Amino acid sequence: MQLIEVMVDQISLQVISLPGHSTEQVGVAFGNTLFVGDAFFTPEILDTHHIPFYTDVQAGLTTLSVLKTQITPFKHIVAGHGELYTSKVRSARFSRITTCCGKGCNKCLRLLPV
For the purposes of burial, counting CB atoms within 10 Å of the CB of 16, is it exposed (0-12), middle (13-18) or buried (19 or more)? Answer: buried
Determine contact, residues 94/77, Cβ cutoff 8 Å. no
Q: Which domains does the chain have, with CATH numbers?
A: 3-110 (3.60.15.10)
Per-residue model confidence as pLDDT tens digits over 93-103 = 554 544 455 55
Q: What percentage of residues in the chain have a pLDDT greater than 70?
A: 72
Q: What is the pLDDT of residues 37-63, one digit of tens each?
A: 888 777 777 788 777 788 898 898 888
